[in-house]
Amino acid sequence: MELKVGKFKPENVSKMEFYLEGLDRQVKKPEENPSVGLLLCASKNDEVVEYAMSRTLSPMMVSQYQLQLPDKAVLSRKLQELASLPELVASSDE
């Protein structure tokens, strides 16, 4: 995961691919899935993100972060929704 204080730039993708490749070659165990990259940026242009990631094979996501938390009621409701997802319930039983 990488936090960018500025807007998304296309070169962020190649840098993240470099990090993911190093992580997968040197740290990841054979039975583990490929590493996933997450770029959190202060702002992004969806078209620029789409162009920058159109040819990448690395599992990666780009999102824009907020400087303040959402309303407590909204956050609580979303957490309850996530807690009731079948795959989360099943994996927590293991």
- Give the pLDDT confidence of 29-63 residue by residue, as tens digits: 999 999 999 999 999 999 999 999 998 888 888 98
C-alpha distance from residue 40 to each of 5, 21, 72, 94 (Å): 8, 19, 22, 31
Residue ranges covered by each domain of the chain: 2-67
Look at residue 23 in the predicted model and tell me its pLDDT: 95
Look at residue 55 in the predicted model and tell me its pLDDT: 87
Look at residue 10 in the predicted model and tell me its pLDDT: 96
Local structure of 12: helix, strand or coil? helix
Look at residue 30 in the predicted model and tell me its pLDDT: 93
Look at residue 82 in the predicted model and tell me its pLDDT: 80
Question: What is the Cα–Cα distance from 75 to 64, expressed in whole angstroms?
Answer: 17
